[in-house]
Amino acid sequence: MKNRVPEALLSSPVFLIKRLGMKAKEESHDAYSDAGIHPYHYAILETLAEGERETQGAIADALDYDRGQLVGLLDEMEEAGLVERRRDPEDRRRQVVVTTPAGKKMLIKMRAVAKQLDDDFLAPLTLDQRKQLQKLLLALAVEHVPNCQVTGLALVAE
Amino acid sequence: MKNRVPEALLSSPVFLIKRLGMKAKEESHDAYSDAGIHPYHYAILETLAEGERETQGAIADALDYDRGQLVGLLDEMEEAGLVERRRDPEDRRRQVVVTTPAGKKMLIKMRAVAKQLDDDFLAPLTLDQRKQLQKLLLALAVEHVPNCQVTGLALVAE
DNA sequence: TATTGTTATACTCTATAACTATA
DNA sequence: TATAGTTATAGAGTATAACAATA
């Protein structure tokens, strides 16, 4: 039985998560780029949608992005008319980032893309299994992904 | 509630798998590099341990590595004395890769590292939940990871 | 002096494609 | 002509650190 991934690797959850993560990243990238944006852009739009007034530092911290990297991402988003940067009058070092109407429209569209992406990726699983998986992944994320304190909402979603 | 990953992202399994995959990759890299090797090297050793005589092409296909990339990996492994390349007398274009005694020793050591890695990563889960997760991940891998036809062994492992 | 955002640099990974030797 | 392996190159992505403006 040649040309198969070795059994020893298939029985390692960490290996499987690694490989599935790479595939998920790849498919996300393709799905969002069809709409002309990057998964990072979508994540930023979701972050802005949750809070009221977000500074670049707050966005970077929430998503665990490097601040230098975020500058370029926001440049692209501003270029595309999705967000605007405004100096905070109370502390002129800060930039407050706000979503434009076009950005809000894009967010709605991208939520549908994300939903489709999840559905396609989880296609091999039953509805019940998807809920199980979500619960398990969330428990792992709380431990391993920065800023993942769960409020309970994410658990019952789907 | 600022500085948190947005709820919309946390409720997406694809997002969680992406982030957990990145973390798993990172931790794997660190764990194996303490022993002076790369996760890819370990995967190659496992592949060789399953088959009898492996050509470079067969290894690349099994693990879905690019053949050009594999050349460098095997150079490093040969340098470290873990494997040897021998021309196949029946087809002198082919290189047959064999594990040295040192490579077999390293494989044993790395299996312990992999086991520890899995245990640590799954620490937030009960034994029963770990089995559930393994089953779900495997079902997804069959669909999304190349060459993952499951024989049943990986399912009951752990 | 410390912090926010910006810019520049360098480094790792990966993907591609030319090249050789054998078939 | 096609295939196995090799080599070289370029590109994306990421990480690091210096820098300017403000506090």
Q: Structural domain of residue B93, as residue ranges?
A: 34-121
Same domain, B143 and B67: no
Contact A53, A89 (CB under 8 A): no
Residue of chain A whose Cα is closest to the Cα of B44: A6
Tokens of residue B145, six digits: 């990871």
**Edge to edge, what strands does the sheet with A83-87 contain?**
A54-55, A95-99, A83-87
Output the pTM of the full model: 0.94
pLDDT, tens digit, 9 for 90 and up, residues A32-55: 998 899 999 999 999 999 986 699
Average pLDDT, chain A: 93
Give the integer Cα–Cα distance in Å for B29 and B27: 5
Residue B139 lies in a domain: yes
A78 touches strand C (CB under 7 A): no
At B145 the pLDDT is: 95
pLDDT, tens digit, 9 for 90 and up, residues A14-27: 999 999 999 999 99
Same domain, B41 and B115: yes
At B158 the pLDDT is: 41
Gap from B132 CA to chain A (nearest CA, Å): 8
Q: Which amino acid is at A40?
A: Y
Residues 51-110 of A with CB under 8 A from B: 51, 58, 61-64
Query: Between chains, do B124 and A137 touch, taking CB under 8 Å as contact?
Result: no
> CA–C1' span, B92 to C21, in Å?
9
Give the integer Cα–Cα distance in Å for B56 and B61: 9
Domain tally for chain A?
A: 2
Residue of chain B whose Cα is closest to the Cα of A51: B2
> CA–C1' span, B91 to D3, in Å?
11
Give the integer Cα–Cα distance in Å for A32 and A84: 21
Contact B115, A13 (CB under 8 A): no
Pick A138's closest partner by Cβ from B10, B114, B158. Answer: B10
pLDDT, tens digit, 9 for 90 and up, residues A134-152: 999 999 999 999 998 876 5
Q: Give the mean pLDDT per block of 10 residues along chain B (158 residues).
A: 85 98 97 94 96 88 95 97 96 97 98 97 98 97 90 53
Residue B46 lies in a domain: yes
